[in-house]
Structure 1
Amino acid sequence: MERRNFLKMAGIGAITMGTAPAAFSATVCDKDVAFDKSYDVVIIGSGFAGLSAAIEAKRNGAKDVVIFEKLSMFGGNSAINGGLFAAPNTPMQAREGVNDSIETMVQDQLTAGRGIADEALLRHVATNAAEALQLTIEAGAEYHPYLQQLGGHSVARTYQTSVSCGAGITQPLLKMARKEGAVTQNRAKFEGFILNANNQVVGVKIREGYYFGREDSGKVINVKANRGVIMATGGFAQNIKLRMAQDPTLNHEVGCTNVEGSTGEGMLAMFKLGAVPVHLAHIQSGPWASPDEGGFGYVSNYSIYNFPHSVAIHCATGKRFMNEIADRKTRADAELGCRDQDGNPLPPIMITSYEHASQHPNCKKVLKYNVGWKFDSLEQIAERFNVPLTALEEQITEYNGYVKAGKDPQFGKIMDMAKDKYIKAPYTVVRLWPKAHYCQGGVQVNVNAEVLDSMSGEHIKGLYAAGEVTGGVHGVSRLGSCSIPECMVMGMTAGRNVMKG
C-alpha cells in the first residue's frame, strides 16, 4: 500500500546507507497482518524526545506505552551529547540577573537560521522550554550551578548537567518513564509502518533481537499502535553516503560526534510513506570538536565552556581567524578554511589560560588523555604547533587589550564572559576540527508534532515525530544547547497529542 515512491522524488532513492541498513518491508494493510503485540502508543527511539513522549503519553491516559531502541543501550545519541539545555526566564537567570525572554531566544535562533527557520516551531519550543527543563529536574537531573552563554546566544541561558553529558538527563528520564509504566525494549530495530485501508498508521514492524550491523539478526514481529506511532529516531549524520548526497563537503575528512546508529532509517521510511522532506542539505558541524579523539569526546564540552575567554589561532599565521562565539556554522566554516600550503587540513588551536580552563571538569580529562596540553610559555606552544612566534605574541597582547576594553574590534566577539579573563601563562591548548553533529533536515511537522503529508499538507493519521528526525526547525544553523529543549518540548507535545488523536 505504498502511496508514492517519494524517495525518488526527493532525489535520494538510489542512495545506500552508510552502515548498510536493509530495505524496508513493504507497508501493508492491517487486515493482512497478524499482530504479535499491541500498545496504545508505540515510540521508536529512546533519546530525549522518545522518553519525554512516553512520560507525557502515560500522564495523559495511555494504557500502555512501549519504547523500542535499536541499539543495546538506551538513550541513543542524546546520552552522549553535551547535556546543554537553553531556556528563557529560568530560576538561574533570575538569580544571576540575566534579562531574557521568549522573544529574545526566538530572535537569536532566527538569526542563526539565516531566514529559513520555522518561527512557529521555535516559538512553541521557547515558550515551553522552562517547563521541559523542570520535567528533567523533577526526574532527577542535576545541573552545574552556573549559566553558560554559547555562540550565537545574546545572553547566558544555558544549563549544563553536572556530569557534562546528556546521560545526566536521559538516565533520570528513563527511570521516570519506567516508573510511569512505559515498557522499554532494546535491540529492537524499526523495519517499517503498517497502514490500514484509510492510509492511517496503525502499527510498525520491529526486528527483535537485533545486533547493529547484522541486518538479518533477530526476528521481525508486527506491533499494533492503537493511538499512534511517535518517531524519535534522531538524525543521519553517521550515514556518510546520505549526508554527502546532501552536502558533498561532508566526506570522510569530516568526523562525526554521533552514535553509530544515527543512520536515518526512520526518516527515510517516513519519506517513503509520503512525509515532506525539509532542509536535508543543512547538516551542522560542531566547531568545538577535536581531531585528536573519536566521537563527541572530552574536548567538545571543554571547548564550549572555554570559547568565550579563549583565542582560536590559525597555525600558519599565528593570528585569530574567527569570532570564537559566533554561531556554529560560521565557526565551522572558518575552521575548515584552515589549510596548509598544499590545501591539506591544518587544525587550528585554541589557547586558554589554565587558571580559567581548569574550572571546567573536563580539563583534567583533556590533559589526562593527551587530547589537550599544558604549556608554560607561548614559545613552547609555537614550537609544538609550528606557529610563528612573533605573530602569536602580538595577537595575545592585542587580544588581552580587548579583554581590558570589553570590546573586540577584530571579530566583534561579545566580551561579557571574558571580563578580567586574560590569556596568560600557564596555558592549555587543544586542537579544533569540525565534526558532523546535527542534521537540521528531516520530516516536516507542525506545532502538534504531527507529520505532514507531501501531497495534501495534512497530518498523516497516526504518525507523530519529534527531535532531530524532524526538519526545518532551526534553518541553516542550530544554536548550541537548543536541541535538548526542542527534543523535550516536541516529545512532550507528541505524547500529549497522540492521546487526543
Structure 2
Amino acid sequence: MSNVDLLGRRNFIKGMGAAAGVAIATPAMAISEKADGVKWDKEVEVLIIGSGFAGLAAAIEATRKGAKDVHIFEKMSYFGGNSAINGGLFAAPGTPMQKKEGVQDSVDRMVADQMKSGRGVADEGLLRHVAEHAVEALQMTMDAGSEFHPYLQQLGGHSVARTYQTTVSCGAGITQPLYKECKRIGVKTHNRSKFEGFIIGEDGKVEGVKMREGYYFKEEDSGKVVYIRAKRGVIAATGGFAQNINLRMAQDPTLTSEVGCTNAPGATGEGMYEMFRIGAIPVHMAHIQSGPWASPDEGGFGYVSNYSIYNFPHSMAINRLTGKRFMNEIADRKTRADAELSCRDEKGEALPPILITSYKHSKKHPNTKKVIKYNVGWKFDTVEELAKHFEVPVKPLKAQIEEYNSYVKSGDDKQFGKNMTKAKDKFIEAPFTVVRLWPKVHYCQGGVQITTKAEVKDSFTGQPIKGLYAAGEVCGGVHGVSRLGSCSIPECMVMGMTAARSVMEA
C-alpha cells in the first residue's frame, strides 16, 4: 500500500453523516502528511496519544518491557481523560475476591456473558484476550496503589459477581495511581498537546505525528505545531466520541444535544477520525450505549450512577404511571435503557421511573449520603409518603412491594427472571431511598478495527497499518450492540498493555 493511497482517503469519512444531513466538521479535523521533507522537531521511542486507562497502562507496560523514552500526550489540561470520571468498576474472572466469596467463574463464562449482551456481533477473540489477561491488568492497578471496596458487585448482564470498585467510586482511583506510577518510572507526560495528524512514510508506515503543544481546548489555533518522530511506534488511546454531537447524531438522530452525556468534554473523536482517513476500518459506529443507571436530576455521571449500579441487585425499578415493576433491574444495559425510555405519561411525555431501595441496604454504599445531601435522591419513612411525592398509585405500589418481597424470600423472580442471589434477605422495607432514572449517552461501541495484538487493520489490505496501534474506546467491534458494565476498564488496560508489547516486539 503506497503512501499516496493512504493519504488519498481523506474524503472517506465526509460521507459518514451525509445521509442524516448532519455536518461533522466539529471538532476541527487533523490532516495527516507524508514524511518526505518533514523536519522533525523531536524524536521519542514510544509515543502514546491519550492519558486514560489504555494510555497509562501502555506506558507502564512499555517501560516494563525495556522502553527508555516513553511519552504520553494529552490534549486536555488535566490527565486521565474520560477514564478519570468513569465509575471505577473493574470486572475480571478468577480473582482472589471471587475465591474468598466462593464465586465460581471462568474466562469462558465472562466471554459468554459478553457475547450474549453483544447480540451476536461482539468480537469473541478480542473479548477472550481481554478476559484472559484481566486479572493481570487488575494487578497492575493494585501494584500502582489502587484501592477497592472489600466486596464484589454483580452488575447487569453478568451471571456472577465479578466486579471490583475503587474505594473512591470513580475511575480516578485507578488513573491517579497509574499516572503516579508513570512519573515514578520515568514516563514523560505532556498535557495541552492536541493530536493534529499522522506522518506517513513511503511504505505506508506511521513514522510519527503532528502535535499542537500549548493547546487550549476548543481554541483550535492556540499553541504551536511540532513534528514528533516515534522510533518504535504510535499508540492511539484517544477514547470515544460521545461528546461529538454531530457524529453521534449521524449514527443515531435521536442522540441530540438534549440527551445527557456522562463523558468528559474531550471525548470528541479526532484520533479515530484520522485513523479512518489513513485507512482504518470503521466498525459498529451506530452502536452507542446509554447508561440505564443515570439520573435526570444531575449532570454527567454524577452521584446517582454508582449508587444505582450498587443497589440495582436488591432494588425495585417502578413505572410511576402504573406503580409496577417494568424490567429486570440487572439485565444488560441496552435492555434496561430501552425499558426506561418506554416509561411515558398518558400524553407520551417522558416519565422517568424510580428505583426504590431499603435505606438500611442502600446506606452501605458511600454515595447514598451524597445523593440525599445534594437532592438527587430522597428518603421516605412510608410508602404513602413516597407515592405522593412521585404521584405513583399507592395501591398497586404496595401490592408490587409485597410481590417483590416474596421473590426475595423464594429466590425466584417470577416477573422478570432477575437473578436474586445478591437480593437474598434484602427486603424492600421502610425507610426507603429513591432516585429517578433516565439513560444518558455513555459509551461508543464503534471505532477502528484492531487485532488481538492491538494492531490497527487497513481497510483495503486487511493487514495491520505499520507503526500504528490502538487501545480502548477508540477501537470498535469489541463489545457488539451492548457492552456489559465494568468491562471497559479491563479492555482498555489489557489492550493498552498489549499495544505496548506489540510496539516493543516490532
TM superposition score normalised by structure 1: 0.98
Determine the structure 2 residue equivalent to 1:55: 60
Task: Kindly tell me the number of residue pairs found equivalent between the two proteins.
Answer: 499
How far residue 254 of structure 1 moved from its aligned partner, in angstroms, is 2.0
Determine the structure 1 residue equivalent to 2:483: 478
Specify which of 204, 224, 229 is matched with residue 229 of structure 2: 224
Q: Distance in 1 between matches of 2:417 and 2:319?
A: 18
The C-alpha deviation readout for 1:273-304, integer Å capped at 9, x for no partner, is: 10000000001100000000000000000000
How far residue 6 of structure 1 moved from its aligned partner, in angstroms, is 5.9
Q: Distance in 2 between matches of 1:177 and 1:12?
A: 39
Q: Distance in 1 between matches of 2:237 and 2:268?
A: 13
Determine the structure 1 residue equivalent to 2:383: 378
Determine the structure 2 residue equivalent to 1:82: 87
1:311-326 to 2 correspondence within 5 Å?
A: 311-326=316-331
1:9-88 to 2 correspondence within 5 Å?
A: 11-12=16-17, 16-17=23-24, 20-25=26-31, 27-88=32-93
Q: Distance in 2 between matches of 1:359 and 1:190?
A: 43
Which secondary structure does the structure 2 equivalent of 1:457 belong to?
coil
Determine the structure 2 residue equivalent to 1:369: 374
Q: Distance in 2 between matches of 1:481 and 1:433?
A: 19
Q: Distance in 2 between matches of 1:55 and 1:122?
A: 22
Q: Which stretch has the larger CA shift, 132-141 or 7-16? A: 7-16
Q: Distance in 2 between matches of 1:471 and 1:359?
A: 36
Specify which of 118, 121, 131 is matched with residue 126 of structure 1: 131
Specify which of 193, 201, 205 is matched with residue 196 of structure 1: 201
Q: Is the 8 A contact 2:49 2:238 kept in 1?
A: yes
- Of all paired residues, the percent bearing the same amino acid is 69
Determine the structure 2 residue equivalent to 1:418: 423
Pairing 1:205–2:210 present:
yes
Determine the structure 2 residue equivalent to 1:360: 365
Q: Distance in 2 between matches of 1:225 and 1:12?
A: 33
Amino acid at match of 2:154: Q
Q: Is the 8 A contact 1:36 1:222 kept in 2?
A: yes
Q: Is the 8 A contact 2:29 2:273 kept in 1?
A: no
How far residue 317 of structure 1 moved from its aligned partner, in angstroms, is 0.8
Q: Which stretch has the larger CA shift, 56-65 or 196-205? A: 56-65
Determine the structure 2 residue equivalent to 1:276: 281
How far residue 345 of structure 1 moved from its aligned partner, in angstroms, is 1.2
Amino acid at match of 1:327: D
The C-alpha deviation readout for 1:381-434, integer Å capped at 9, x for no partner, is: 111111111111111111111111111010110000000000010000000000
Amino acid at match of 1:53: A
Q: Distance in 1 between matches of 2:11 and 2:397?
A: 54
How far residue 16 of structure 1 moved from its aligned partner, in angstroms, is 4.1
Q: Is the 8 A contact 1:234 1:262 kept in 2?
A: yes
How far residue 15 of structure 1 moved from its aligned partner, in angstroms, is 5.1
Specify which of 149, 158, 162 is matched with residue 163 of structure 2: 158
Specify which of 433, 449, 452 is matched with residue 447 of structure 1: 452
Q: Distance in 1 between matches of 2:162 and 2:194?
A: 36
Q: Distance in 2 between matches of 1:261 and 1:440?
A: 17
Q: Distance in 1 between matches of 2:476 and 2:420?
A: 33
Q: Is the 8 A contact 2:50 2:236 kept in 1?
A: yes
Pairing 1:257–2:227 present:
no
The C-alpha deviation readout for 1:111-169, integer Å capped at 9, x for no partner, is: 00000000000000000000000011000001000000000000000000011110000
Which secondary structure does the structure 2 equivalent of 1:122 belong to?
helix
Amino acid at match of 2:277: K
Q: Distance in 1 between matches of 2:268 and 2:302?
A: 20
Determine the structure 2 residue equivalent to 1:310: 315
The C-alpha deviation readout for 1:54-96, integer Å capped at 9, x for no partner, is: 1111111222111011111100010001100000011001111
Q: Distance in 2 between matches of 1:37 and 1:214?
A: 24
Q: Which stretch has the larger CA shift, 249-258 or 230-239? A: 249-258
Which secondary structure does the structure 1 equivalent of 2:36 belong to?
helix
How far residue 178 of structure 1 moved from its aligned partner, in angstroms, is 1.6
CA distance 1:12–1:463, shift in 2 (3 Å): farther
TM superposition score normalised by structure 2: 0.97
Q: Is the 8 A contact 1:52 1:491 kept in 2?
A: yes
Unaligned runs of 5+ in 1: none
Determine the structure 1 residue equivalent to 2:113: 108
Pairing 1:147–2:149 present:
no
Determine the structure 2 residue equivalent to 1:345: 350
Determine the structure 1 residue equivalent to 2:439: 434
Which secondary structure does the structure 2 equivalent of 1:256 belong to?
coil
Amino acid at match of 2:195: F
Specify which of 299, 306, 310 is matched with residue 301 of structure 1: 306
Q: Which stretch has the larger CA shift, 337-346 or 394-403? A: 337-346
Determine the structure 1 residue equivalent to 2:183: 178
